[in-house]
Amino acid sequence: MKLYGGIETGGTKCVCMIAGGPDEVIAESRFSTTTPEETLLKAITFFREQKKIHNLSGLGIGTFGPVDLDPDSATFGYITTTPKPGWANVNLAKRIENELQMPTVIDTDVNAAAMGEYLWGNAGGISPFVYFTIGTGIGMGGLFNGSLMHGLIHPEAGHMILKRDPITDPYAGFCAYHGDCFEGLASGPAIRARWGQSSHTMPDQHPAWKLEANYIAQAMVNTIVLLSPRKIILGGGVMQREHLFPMIQREVVSMLNGYVKSPQILNQIEDFIVPAKLGGRAGVLGSIALAVQAFN
Ligand code: ZN
């Protein structure tokens, strides 16, 4: 069995793993994301120790962004403009690669999670498909013609602009850049700020969910008409509230209003918009998946 290293550098926590796949996890370490120096030192120390024991075929990094993924850029693998203190302009990929002397691949945490779902999860090798994480933030990754989506930078669909009715929802949103974009309206912190309660503890009957399903459905309709994905996977902390799925599915069908004449939408929406299979380990297993795809 080939073994790979994976790092998920998230906004609040960092997870390091040695694995061959989701059923072959050899070692794992979790710690808080603090300063870049402290966080990277912990990660590098973990992999140095593991390298003494195991032969690793490569390392995958799935990181919060925005991150420079243009291989021709002088700042390839750098975190770019994050509001996270100390992390702007941090050289992530090359620093780790140089310290560990291992082939390294980097992508966004959501593209990594998408690759995990593609290889081992609910995407089952289908392309194009998209993966959304809806939790502390909102992000999207995905594959198009079998390749992870990159372009000008990478998808930032958490910041798509949605319709908000200021009468039914006077909350102006918290995104520092746009106010009431998707993330500003529908992420976990937005739910907490609007209703004064965590999405984890609200009862299923709370009116928050109707509004939440509406915003998520708007974003899914935009995604469907823009990218024509064959599957949409929804993960992240907010989506652990499973009652949201049928609400979103109904809203999507209703908003499309028969325009997209596909049996997946009209008759099998429950197989079209689905939960993530890799759950809470999606990010770090996705980083392993990046390495598997790049160095197998
Ligand atoms: Zn925004």
CATH topology for 122-276 is Nucleotidyltransferase; domain 5 (3.30.420)
Between 3.30.420.40, 3.40.30.10, 3.50.50.60, 3.30.70.2740, what CATH number should domain 3-108+280-295 receive?
A: 3.30.420.40
pTM, to two decimals: 0.94
Q: Helix 93-100 crosses helix 36-53 at what angle (to 10 degrees)? A: 40
Ligand 1 center–CA 176 separation, angstroms: 7
The DSSP call for residue 81 is S
Distance 160 CA to ligand 1 centre (A): 7
Cα-to-centroid distance, 26 and ligand 1 (Å): 38
Query: What is the DSSP annotation of 191-253?
Result: HHHHHSS-TTTS-TTSTHHHHHHHHHHHHHHHHHHHH--SEEEEESSGGG-TTHHHHHHHHHH
Which residues fall inside 5 Å of ion ligand 1, going by CB? 159, 175, 177-178, 181
Centre of ligand 1 from the C-alpha of residue 294, in Å:
31
Query: How far is the centre of ligand 1, averaged over its atoms, from the C-alpha of 177 (Å)?
Result: 5
Ligand 1 centroid–CA 288 distance in Å is: 29
Q: In the prediction, which pLDDT does 130 show?
A: 97
Q: How far is the CA of 173 from the centre of ligand 1 (A)?
A: 9
What separation in Å is there between the alpha carbon of 131 and the centre of ligand 1?
Answer: 18
Instruction: Give the per-residue pLDDT at 279.
Output: 84
In the reported structure, the alpha carbon of residue 156 is separated from the centroid of ligand 1 by a whole-number distance in angstroms of: 9
CA of 181 to the centre of ligand 1 (A): 5
**CATH topology of 3-108+280-295 equal to that of 122-276?**
yes
pLDDT of res. 240: 95
Long-range contacts of 168-177 (CB under 8 A, 24+ apart): 168/211, 169/194, 169/211, 176/83
For residue 23, which of 240, 237, 281 has the smallest C-alpha distance? 281
pLDDT tens, position by position, for the chain (296 residues)?
A: 899 999 999 888 999 999 999 999 999 999 999 999 999 999 999 999 999 999 999 999 999 988 999 999 999 999 998 778 899 999 999 999 999 999 999 999 999 999 999 999 999 999 999 999 999 999 999 999 989 999 888 899 999 999 999 999 999 999 999 999 999 999 999 999 999 999 999 999 999 999 999 999 999 999 999 999 999 999 999 999 999 999 999 999 999 999 999 999 999 999 999 999 998 888 999 999 999 999 99
CA 261 – ligand 1 centroid, Å: 31
CA of 240 to the centre of ligand 1 (A): 23
Distance 137 CA to ligand 1 centre (A): 10
- Domain chopping of the chain, boundaries: 3-108+280-295, 122-276
In angstroms, what is the span from residue 133 Cα to ligand 1's centroid? 15
Ligand 1 mean position, distance from CA 185 (Å): 9
**Radius of gyration over every alpha carbon of the chain, rounded to an integer in angstroms:** 19
Instruction: Find the 161 Cα to ligand 1 centroid distance in Å.
Output: 8
Q: In which region does residue 125 sit, left (phi positive, over 0), alpha (psi from -120 to 50) or beta (all else)?
A: left
Do the beta carbons of residue 161 and residue 151 sit within 8 Å? no
The rounded distance, in Å, linking the Cα atoms of 203 and 30 is 30
Distance 212 CA to ligand 1 centre (A): 16
